[in-house]
Structure formats: C-alpha cells, structure tokens
C-alpha cells in the first residue's frame, strides 16, 4: 500500500489564513521599527559629525565648522574656517561631508540654524575671530517624516553634546 504525503486543501487554507493574520499584525509594527531605526541613525550620524568637528578644532587648535547644505537633513560639510565667517570658501580645506538623509527632518534652533563652529579649546562659538565670538549653544531636533518620536541633540556652552528623546509633540 502506497502512502501519499502532503497537505489537504483545508490544511493549506488554514495555514494561509494564519500566515495572513500574522502578516497583518506584524507589518505595521515592522514599519514603525524601521522609522525608529532610521531616526536614531540620523541622530547618531549628526552627533558623530559634531564630535568630529570639535575633535579637529582641538587637535589642530584651529576653528572648525560644521555647516548645513541647504537644510540640515539635506547634508552638511565640515571644514577649517580660516577667515572665521562660518562659510566655506574655495581656499578652505574641507574635512568631510555628508549627503542627504532620507525619512527624517533635522531642525536646529536659532543658534544652530546654519552652523556650529568650534575653537581650539573645544568651545562652540559664533563665527567672528580665531578664538572669539559669542558662545553658541542650542538644540537639534531629529524627527521621522511620519508622526512619531525623535531625538534632540543639545549643545552646551562647553561644546559638549548630549542626546535626549524628543516626544511626538516636539516633532509636529
């Protein structure tokens, strides 16, 4: 006697139904996880750029500046600011740059709207002179493009940066 192995039509339909229910439950939370990871990566990328800029200013005892390209989420560049104006000129050495970040918005409040500049002591200062300028402190808010929680990078007067969570209300 030959035994046939396989699934009956009813078993196959039940399996497909269970799989469909599991996918319907899992896909929205997977999308939320992707958005949360994308937002965290953007916050970490900007934080690394700030740390690099400060480190270059300290190690060379020169003013280094991190400046946005069009908007902060469109990218940025890090350079040695030889003429202390907060803008990169053709004769100023670019250290690095970053391209646009998808799926997030990054906004700097008033003091950080366009750039962050560090002097040789590691302090953040407005552009002006080699070691002068008013102290520069402020907050970046990094949010997903869909409603949800984000992150804030808070720049202190000393030039140090800390990261906090931003509520969904802060991202609206």
For residues 54 and 122, the answer to whether their CB atoms sit within 8 Å is yes
Question: Going by C-beta distance under 8 Å and a sequence separation of 6 or more, which residues neighbour residue 169?
Answer: none
pTM recorded for the entire structure: 0.82
Q: Where exactly are the structural domains of the chain?
A: 9-170
pLDDT at position 1:
65
- Name the burial class of residue 31, with classes exposed (0-12), middle (13-18) and buried (19+) by CB atoms within 10 angstroms of its CB: exposed
Q: What is the DSSP string of 53-84?
A: HHHHHHHHTS-EEEEEESEEEEEEEEEE-TTS
- Bridge partners (DSSP) of residue 118 are 64, 124
Domain 9-170 homologous superfamily, CATH: minor pseudopilin epsh domain (3.55.40.10)
Q: Which residue carries 């493009």 as its tokens?
A: 145
Reported residue count of the chain is: 172
Give strand ranges (E) for 24-149. Answer: 64-69, 71-80, 94-98, 104-108, 115-118, 138-144
pLDDT of residue 86: 86
- Residue 76 neighbours by CB under 8 Å, 6+ apart: 46, 49, 66, 67, 68, 69, 97, 98
- Average pLDDT per 10 consecutive residues for the chain, totaling 172 residues: 75 87 77 87 95 95 93 94 88 92 92 92 84 85 91 93 92 84
Query: CB under 8 Å to 38, separation ≥6 — which residues?
Result: 102, 103, 104, 144
Sign of CA dihedral 20, 21, 26, 29: positive
Answer for the pair 72, 45: CB distance below 8 angstroms, yes or no.
no
């Amino acid at each position: 006697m030959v035994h046939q192995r396989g699934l009956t039509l009813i078993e196959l339909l039940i399996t497909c139904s269970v799989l469909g229910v599991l996918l319907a439950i899992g896909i929205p939370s997977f999308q939320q996880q992707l958005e949360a990871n994308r937002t965290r990566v953007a916050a970490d990328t900007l934080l690394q750029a700030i740390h690099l800029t400060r480190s270059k200013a300290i190690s060379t005892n020169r003013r280094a500046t991190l400046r946005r390209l069009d908007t902060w989420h469109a990218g940025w560049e890090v350079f040695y600011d030889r003429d202390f104006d907060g803008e990169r000129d053709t004769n100023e050495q670019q250290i690095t740059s970053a391209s646009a970040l998808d799926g997030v918005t990054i906004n700097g409040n008033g003091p950080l709207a366009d750039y962050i500049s560090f002097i040789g002591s590691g302090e953040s200062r407005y552009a002006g002179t080699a070691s002068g300028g008013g102290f520069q402190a402020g907050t970046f808010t990094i949010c997903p493009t869909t409603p949800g929680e984000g992150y804030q990078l808070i720049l202190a007067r000393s030039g140090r940066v800390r990261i906090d969570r931003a509520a969904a209300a802060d991202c609206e």
